[in-house]
Amino acid sequence: MATLGVFDKRCFQSEDKVIALESDLDRQCCFNFFSRLQGSLVMRVSQSGRVSRWLTYGRSASSPIASYWRVFVPAVSLLALTAAACNPSVRPMNTFAPESDLAQWILGLYLQVTAWDTLIFLIVLVALFLALFVFSTRVGEAAPPASASSDLWLEVAWTVGPALILLFIAIPTVRVIFRTQPPAPPAGSLIIEVVAHQWWWEFDYPALGIKTANELHVPIDRSLRLELHSADVIHSFWVPELGGKRDVVPGQTNEITFVANVPGEYLGQCAEFCGLSHANMRFKVFVEPPTEFSSWTRHQLSGALALGATNGSVSHASEIAEGQRIFANSPCTTCHMIAGISAGAIAPNLTHFGSRTSLAGATFDNTTENLAKWINDPQALKPGAKMPALGVRGDQLSDLVAYLESLK
């Protein structure tokens, strides 16, 4: 016996059936095919060490079932591990934990389609198994009798079957599309204008006169109609637990309509590549009971400047006042709005900045340390950020931070 180059010891397992192959290429192809199939191709080598014959697999060779198990068991284990990683408590952005009517409908659709796919997969698997092990001819056996050139009923079956399955998938899909994209907002909807910018989100409540950024507050159990606009390139609005992605396209208004069912804080993310900080274009959605939402709106409508001045502790009052003076005389006013101080409109509205939980497109927690780092060097925290580093340092920086954080 001798081994042949790349071939391993499995080549010598059994000798039950023989194929004579003409060339090295045939041997290589034959080995590759059968070894992938079940790893039991065998060969015989002459006394002189020369390969004289090749033996193909037979049912008596190392069991094909055993080979399948070698693949099947690790594959199932891997799937189980992957499923375990989908625990909702570990992954906050989870489409399998729907918390709105829209997300529930989409998950229902996904499960229906998956059920049909599974059925098709099983049918194909059974057909493949039958073709390989029941209706196949092995070496040495007579060729099967010639079959009829066509079978009308078989052809009807494989035409009508897939058409019906497509129909079963199409009907609920179209139904969910129409259900989730009504041409007019349902009665009593809260309309929110969403404007996507590189790389942050603007949320305007036209009926309430509120404008905020990166943190969307909405009431529970009320129809929400989000009208999506883009200020620059294509983005995509996506809160996995509240509904599917919807593209935000320049020059076009797309809508997304849903009712959030469960109070809580949800993470959102731009889901369309939109430039350097696409991954940092995040946002939060706070779903609140009606009373909590009303108090948030009242707070947003109150004058932040007066609140900032009065809310600052006595020890910080002078820093806050100095910070306000620095802000009012800085180029920040060109881009940012703070009611009563500045009217910039191309960057997030900072009127109630101190009451937000996050900054820089909801990428960092809103802490004095993070805010100081952000003002000092925005590009270091968020590559490509449009906000320039203005060179505010030392006491000026800490005063500015104290002022912005006082804007509750």
Question: Given the rule CB under 6 A, which residues bind ligand CUA?
Answer: 196, 199, 235, 270, 272-274, 278, 281
Question: Please, what is the minimum distance in Å from the beta carbon of residue 150 to ligand CUA?
Answer: 53
The nearer residue to ligand CUA, 57 or 199, going by C-beta atoms, is 199
Question: Please, what is the minimum distance in Å from the beta carbon of residue 203 to ligand CUA?
Answer: 15
Question: Please, what is the minimum distance in Å from the beta carbon of residue 401 to ligand CUA?
Answer: 27
CB 377 within 8 A of CB 389: yes
Question: Please, what is the minimum distance in Å from the beta carbon of residue 243 to ligand CUA?
Answer: 17
Q: How far is CA 245 from the centre of its chain?
A: 9
Question: Please, what is the minimum distance in Å from the beta carbon of residue 197 to ligand CUA?
Answer: 8
Q: Reading across the β-sheet that carries 190-197, which strands appear in turn?
A: 210-213, 200-205, 190-197, 223-230, 254-259
Cβ within 8 Å of residue 120, ≥6 positions away: 165
Please count the CA atoms within 13 angstroms of the CA of 287 that sit on its side-chain side. Answer: 21
- Residue whose token pair is 């809260």: 190
Q: How many CB atoms lie within 10 A of CB 375?
A: 22
Question: Please, what is the minimum distance in Å from the beta carbon of residue 88 to ligand CUA?
Answer: 25
Nearest to 34 by CA among 52, 48, 13, 50: 13
CB 64 within 8 A of CB 37: yes
> What element of type H or E holds 223?
strand 223-230
What is the three-class DSSP state of 308?
Answer: helix
